Chain A
Amino acid sequence: MVRNEKISARQFGILVALYSIGTTILIVPAVLAEEAKQDAWIAALLGVGIGIVLVGLFIAVGSLIPSMSLVELMEELLGKWLGKAVSLTFIFFALVTASELLYFVGNFITTQIMPETPMQSINIIFACVVVMGVRLGIETLARSAELLFPLFVFLFLVFVIFVSPQVKVENIQPVLEADFKNLLRAAIYFISVFSLPTVVLLMVYPASVNRPNEAKKNFFSGVIIAGVTLIIMIALSILVLGVTTTQLQIYPSYSLAKKINVGNFLQRIEIVMAGMWFISIFFKLSLYFYASVTGLAQTLNVKDYRFLTLPLGVVMVALSMLVHPNTLHSFEYNRETWLSYVSTYGLFLPLLLLGVYAFRRKGRQDMATSSNETKSE
């Protein structure tokens, strides 16, 4: 595999932040409000805390063999055939999730903005941009993230400033009423959307980052920036809309944006605000897709992954129409199936790889000279 593409540590940090905000910003407030009521923001805080620990885990896996991506690492550590088999399931995971996100984009637009438009047309247009981005490579994606991030920050700040006059502090009182069990359940849901999918970034980090050590720091700060953004968003949803409305809405953040009204003049700007999550969802989707495409190329030992983007893009669009027959199915999937699916790759796989690595190194030390297998580059 020729690896001529490198992104800077700063770009990586921005990608991490946008990736983690992704769809979380739109869907998570409703579920958290349902589980933890007015304490949803505490659950998010808890979730971000655990998320930071998970980043430590991902970095540990990434630093095992810094020149290899996750898929190559699996092949190296688990053996050729088992490694390839696990890689294929991982690629499937990334592709299905990418198509799920695509479904999500289509669903959001057809629910809130253009109900009569067929979802296919939205999905195809969005997928075109994603395929184009991935074809142009991770460097291009990272650079566009760098360009769009200030816009994201600007929209977010405008959002927060314009919504904050309507804050009612009583809405989050009494604080800490939810019992720990509910809080934990909410936090686990939060992690399943916010931190566990970050494992996909191991396809980029550290192999495609030019200064992996610096990127380590940015990995953390990216997750923290995303975490703070989400906590603010969740807190604002509850502070302004109240627990009941937040949990009843399918997209509470969008309803929140609808509340913006500055002096009966600056109002009805929610669609501008929606630009914010189109940015974050685009990067989340692109990175999932990038992971599945490069992963497949590496598993098949192909030098250049680019020719795979178009066929896989078509598959992704087709899958996006098939993954969920209706909205409720996607809710149930997100709340029941997703956690176990994502933790297979986001939690158990990294632990397994660390375990195998430690075991192998121990074995190597025992046999000191006889085996050079794992050292080969």
Chain B
Amino acid sequence: MIRNAALFFAVLTLLLFATGCWSRRELNDLAIVTGVAIDKIDNKYRVSVQVVDPGEAAGKKGSSGRSPVTLYDASGDTVFEVIRRMTTVTPRKLYFSHLRMFVLSEDLAREGIGKILDFFSRDHELRTDFYIVVSKGRAAKDIISILTPLEKNPSTKMFTSLEVSEKAWAPTVAIQLDELINDIVSEGKEPVLTGILIKGNPAIGKGKGNLETIDTPTNLQYGGIAVFKKDRMIGWLNEEESKGVSNLTNRLDSTVMEVACGNNGKLAVEVIRSNTKVKGKVKDGQPEIKVTIRTEANIGDVECQIDLMKSKTLYDLEIELEQKMKSDAERALSKAKKLKSDIFGFGEAIHRADPNYWQTVKKDWDKHFPSLPVRIKVDFKIRQLGTTGDSFQNKLKE
């Protein structure tokens, strides 16, 4: 009995030594990184990190006037080295698990991004759920130095804004690390990333002043899609072409499309769902792609004279919208063909359709791609009119 009790206490004492983890890091030891920006300056990587200021981010007790995030940067030859070197300026060790945005400068992207991605896929702290974007014409560091209204943390702003715009507007692509690496490695598909730019004066955007007026002087905005070939960026797509990319890669969820109608008026429809099917086929040794886009939309905005009492009007609109969608897609396609970069994954579609044929062309697919015939078929259906029927503007005229 006494022996048992002694044993029990011995075990109890042991428990004291068994608490917690060895490599534990409490919240107050962490510098939570939400954004990373990488530039290449004089052949060295300059890594800038945006770190949350916990005292400011916590919120409710009223802000002390400090910026909600702070920025550190350092330069060096490898990304990992630079990140560790930052401990010479940061009060705590950087913690990357909550990384939201990863911004690459355009110059760096044009030189090739493969080398810098390795660290981010190898380190155990990083997850793959952050978005990657390219800063258009500006240093990536400038992008993450801008303060944003509404979302205290600029990286969160960029993250949600990209997510929302991909869902509701379409010409942006939300790409995460694993998808990017898959696309770089894949032989039948080339990567794309969304571009980000600063609207307004960057010098003002960096200061608290950016948040003090109603009309924010400087804002971050997404625009255009960067086309890559392997890990090297080779060009930009404009808005229409970017919409075409969404159409062709089944990324389109919802967007707004406008068509001319009546006498110099316009009409806009809201796409509510869309589905793209890409089918590859090899016939007599000739590859061919058939894309079928099925889209449903509602009338959203009538700014012209049009008779919305007859279904024939809708059928005419559908044909017009089909044409419009098709031309967007074709424009994106011809741009990609000009850049010789198969960003739509048509090579993978051919691979799925005829693995044997693919073996013969996969080596120089970028040479075959520009002459690849692509048949695009759009099936556009307008379903509903919104809450009103015929537009009140028609009554105005009478």
Chain A residues near B (Cβ < 8 Å)? 111-118, 121, 170, 173-174, 177, 241-242, 244-245, 248, 255, 258-259, 261, 267-268
Once A115-B23, A117-B22 are accepted as A-B contacts, the answer to whether A241 and B178 lie under 8 Å apart by CB is: yes
* CA distance in complex: A245, B181 (Å): 8
Residues of B within 8 A of A258 (CB): 127-129
Q: Does B124 contact A111, Cβ atoms closer than 8 Å?
A: yes
Q: Does B21 contact A170, Cβ atoms closer than 8 Å?
A: no
> Which residues of B in the span 124-149 have a Cβ within 8 Å of any Cβ on A?
124, 127-129
Q: Does A116 contact B181, Cβ atoms closer than 8 Å?
A: no
Choose from B124, B128, B129, B186 the contact partner of A112 (Cβ within 8 Å): B124
Q: Does A244 contact B181, Cβ atoms closer than 8 Å?
A: yes
Residues of B within 8 A of A177 (CB): 355
Residues of A within 8 A of B181 (CB): 244-245, 248
Residues of A within 8 A of B182 (CB): 242, 244-245
* CA distance in complex: A170, B127 (Å): 24
Choose from B21, B128, B355 the contact partner of A174 (Cβ within 8 Å): B355
Once A121-B22, A261-B129 are accepted as A-B contacts, the answer to whether A245 and B178 lie under 8 Å apart by CB is: yes
> Does B352 reach chain A (CB closer than 8 Å)?
yes
Chain B residues near A (Cβ < 8 Å)? 21-23, 121, 124, 127-129, 178, 181-182, 185-186, 348, 351-353, 355
* CA distance in complex: A149, B75 (Å): 51
Residues of A within 8 A of B121 (CB): 248
Q: Does B23 contact A114, Cβ atoms closer than 8 Å?
A: yes
Can you give 17 contacting A-B residue pairs, CB < 8 Å?
Answer: A111-B124, A114-B21, A114-B23, A115-B124, A116-B22, A117-B22, A117-B23, A118-B22, A170-B348, A174-B351, A174-B353, A177-B355, A242-B178, A244-B185, A245-B181, A255-B128, A261-B129
Residues of B within 8 A of A244 (CB): 181-182, 185-186
* CA distance in complex: A115, B21 (Å): 11
Q: Does B352 contact A173, Cβ atoms closer than 8 Å?
A: yes
* CA distance in complex: A173, B279 (Å): 12
Min CB distance B128 to A, Å, is 7
Closest 8 CB pairs of A and B: A117-B22, A114-B23, A116-B23, A173-B352, A177-B355, A244-B185, A242-B182, A174-B355
Min CB distance B100 to A, Å, is 12
What residue of chain B has the Cβ atom nearest to residue A258's Cβ? B127
Say what secondary structure dominates the interface of chain B.
helix
What residue of chain A has the Cβ atom nearest to residue B352's Cβ? A173
Min CB distance A80 to B, Å, is 42
- The CB with the most chain A CB atoms within 10 A, among B121, B178, B186, B355, is that of B178
Residues of A within 8 A of B22 (CB): 114, 116-118, 121
Residues of B within 8 A of A267 (CB): 129
Residues of A within 8 A of B352 (CB): 170, 173-174
Q: Does B124 contact A117, Cβ atoms closer than 8 Å?
A: no
Residues of A within 8 A of B128 (CB): 255, 258-259
* CA distance in complex: A258, B121 (Å): 13
Residues of B within 8 A of A117 (CB): 21-23
Residues of A within 8 A of B351 (CB): 174
Min CB distance A31 to B, Å, is 18
Min CB distance A145 to B, Å, is 25
Q: Does A113 contact B124, Cβ atoms closer than 8 Å?
A: yes
What residue of chain A has the Cβ atom nearest to residue B125's Cβ? A115
* CA distance in complex: A244, B353 (Å): 20
* CA distance in complex: A200, B353 (Å): 45
- The CB with the most chain B CB atoms within 10 A, among A111, A117, A174, is that of A174
Residues of A within 8 A of B355 (CB): 174, 177
What residue of chain B has the Cβ atom nearest to residue A254's Cβ? B124
* CA distance in complex: A275, B185 (Å): 32
Min CB distance A266 to B, Å, is 13
Residues of B within 8 A of A170 (CB): 348, 352
Min CB distance B32 to A, Å, is 14
What residue of chain B has the Cβ atom nearest to residue A176's Cβ? B355
Residues of B within 8 A of A259 (CB): 128
* CA distance in complex: A111, B181 (Å): 21
* CA distance in complex: A116, B352 (Å): 44
* CA distance in complex: A255, B128 (Å): 9
* CA distance in complex: A118, B22 (Å): 9
* CA distance in complex: A159, B186 (Å): 27
What residue of chain B has the Cβ atom nearest to residue A125's Cβ? B18
What residue of chain B has the Cβ atom nearest to residue A243's Cβ? B182
Residues of B within 8 A of A268 (CB): 127
* CA distance in complex: A241, B352 (Å): 17
* CA distance in complex: A267, B128 (Å): 12
Told that A114-B21, A244-B186 touch, could you supply 9 new A-B pairs with CB distance under 8 A?
Answer: A111-B124, A113-B124, A116-B22, A117-B23, A244-B182, A248-B121, A258-B129, A259-B128, A268-B127
